[in-house]
Amino acid sequence: MSDAIPAWQVLLIGGGSATGKSTVAQSLVKKIGISHLLVDDLRIAVQAVTTPAQMPALHYFLTVEDATALSAEAFTDGLIGVGQALIPALREVISHHVAVPAVGRVIVEGDGILPEFVNNLALADVNGRALMDVETKVRAVFIYEEEEEQLLGNFTARSRGSEHAPSTEQRRYVHSIWQFGQRVKADAERFGQPVVCARPFDTLAQRILAAAG
């Protein structure tokens, strides 16, 4: 991995769950010496100060009885809705890091980062003035796992249940996660945004930096 200082101020790492986003982001921030923000933390914060009536899409998975029982299509649509609801908050955080370079570089990662958002960042400073050279200062890379069985293995190991055979509910849930990841990959490719395969994991950090430029 190169020790060169990146040109970007913000690196967005998106993709489905259990693809290694958080792990690789942690290794990158240690290597480069920058900050790290989980989109899940941002989501939890915004959920805490809003209600389901105010932002139904953001609270969707808190209001359904059993997310694992959802169809893959409903699950994917739900995650897309959460990501869309988070766009204003994400835009403010990213704008801050671009408008005020002294706050330092940051890696932002999570499945709430959508290719449609990256395609139209529309960043502005606190006075509403459009920020320039955004394409250089903000880069995005989307991670995907092609094999559903690999994703199932990742999910089972992360849940510390690798000694047990995956249940029907786990398989259905992981299928939904996999389908969401494939949707994100297809959308990223449609918008011409970099996508990288999660494997081999030992080269994932290098490949992300190379794709980010």
Residue 163: what pLDDT?
A: 47
| DSSP code of residue 124 | B
Total-model pTM = 0.94
Residue 23 CA: distances (Å) to CA of 38, 135, 147, 207 = 11, 25, 19, 14
Region of poorest pLDDT, from 67-71, 79-83, 144-148: 67-71
Cα–Cα distance, 25 to 90 (Å, whole number): 17
Q: pLDDT digit string (tens) for 148-179?
A: 999 999 988 876 444 466 788 889 999 999 99
Q: pLDDT digit string (tens) for 82-137?
A: 999 999 999 999 999 999 999 999 999 999 999 999 999 999 999 999 999 999 99
Q: Does the residue 2 lie in any domain? A: no
Q: Does the residue 4 lie in any domain? A: no
Q: Does the residue 147 lie in any domain? A: yes
Contact indicator for 168, 98 with CB cutoff of 8 Å: no
Q: Does the residue 67 lie in any domain? A: yes
Tally of domains in the chain:
1
Domain of residue 202, residue span? 10-212
CATH number at residue 58: 3.40.50.300
Q: Does the residue 73 lie in any domain? A: yes
